[in-house]
């Protein structure tokens, strides 16, 4: 489900719209697989028609139900969480019933750091730490897909924003350079063809 266009300002377009990395769903998925495996192992190792099998069967059923509920809740959270970069700001929104969010104007961003552990590097996930001139100062965003690429997109949008603010002939002459940069981002897979258009 893409970020709602009705929440964008005039002359604002989305450069990147991400849900959390699939790694966000790994723990409840592993829990379901483990509970199914435990249920099969329990049923195979206990005698039939015994109280022990009945208790083990109910325990396995409860574990499976709890894992399934955890996965559904986590998937709902995944579906309603957006990390969005536009030509004007960085937006983070999450929540199905109760919502929370933050918006950071690109001209207030000071630095962007990313961090990946070994496992995160293998799967292509990581965290972004954005330092801005706002009240909170630092914001950490977890489970971002390809955080190094996202960091480069933020810096590219910041450059374009700075040029737009400076105005004048310089911003007009740099259109070809901007198009080349965007085409390069398309070729590297940072942008989709729709985003490039």
Encoding tokens for residue 180? 């080349």
Cα of 49 vs its chain's centroid, Å: 48
Residue 122 has pLDDT above 60, yes or no: yes
Q: What is the DSSP letter of 108?
A: G
| pLDDT for 48 | 61
The pLDDT mean for the chain works out to: 83
What gap in Å lies between CA 82 and CA 102, rounded to an integer?
11
Contact 16, 154 (CB under 8 A): no
Place of tokens 């961003």: 109
| Average confidence (pLDDT) over 165-176 | 59
pLDDT in tens, 24-35: 999 999 999 998
Output the pLDDT for position 169: 47
pTM value?
0.70
The reported pLDDT for the residue numbered 147 is 93
Residue 92: name the closest of 143, 37, 157, 167 by CA.
143
Assign 13 a pLDDT band (cuts: 50, 70, 90).
confident
Q: Mind listing the pLDDT tens digit for each residue in 86-107? A: 988 999 999 878 888 898 998 8
Residue 4, both tokens: 């709602």
Q: In which band, very low, low, confident or very high, does the pLDDT at 38 lie, cut at 50, 70 and 90?
A: confident
Cα–Cα distance, 19 to 17 (Å, whole number): 7
pLDDT for residue 136 is more than 70: no
Q: Which two tokens stand for residue 165?
A: 């603010």
Is 103 within 8 Å of 109 (Cβ atoms)? Answer: no
Alpha-carbon distance of 25 to 12, in angstroms, equals 31
Exposure b/e, 164-193, CB count within 10 A at least 16 = b? eeeeeeeeeeeeeeeeeebeebeeeebbee
């Amino acid at each position: 489900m893409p970020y709602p266009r009705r929440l964008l300002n005039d002359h604002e377009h989305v450069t990147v719209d991400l849900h959390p990395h699939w790694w966000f769903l790994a723990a409840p998925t592993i829990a379901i697989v483990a509970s199914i495996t435990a249920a099969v192992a329990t049923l195979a190792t206990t005698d039939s028609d015994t109280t022990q099998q009945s208790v083990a069967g109910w325990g396995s059923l409860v574990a499976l139900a709890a894992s399934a509920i955890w996965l559904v809740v986590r998937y709902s959270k995944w579906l309603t969480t957006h990390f969005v970069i536009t030509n004007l700001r960085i937006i983070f929104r999450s929540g199905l019933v109760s919502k929370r969010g933050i918006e950071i104007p690109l001209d207030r961003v000071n630095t962007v750091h990313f961090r990946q552990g070994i496992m995160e590097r293998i799967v292509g996930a990581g965290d972004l730490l954005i330092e801005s001139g706002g009240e909170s100062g630092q914001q950490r965003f977890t489970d971002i897909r390809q955080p190094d690429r996202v960091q480069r997109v933020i810096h590219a949008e910041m450059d374009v924003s700075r040029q737009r603010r400076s105005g004048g002939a310089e911003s007009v002459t740099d259109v070809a350079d901007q198009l080349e940069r965007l085409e390069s981002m398309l070729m590297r897979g940072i942008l989709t063809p729709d985003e490039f258009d």
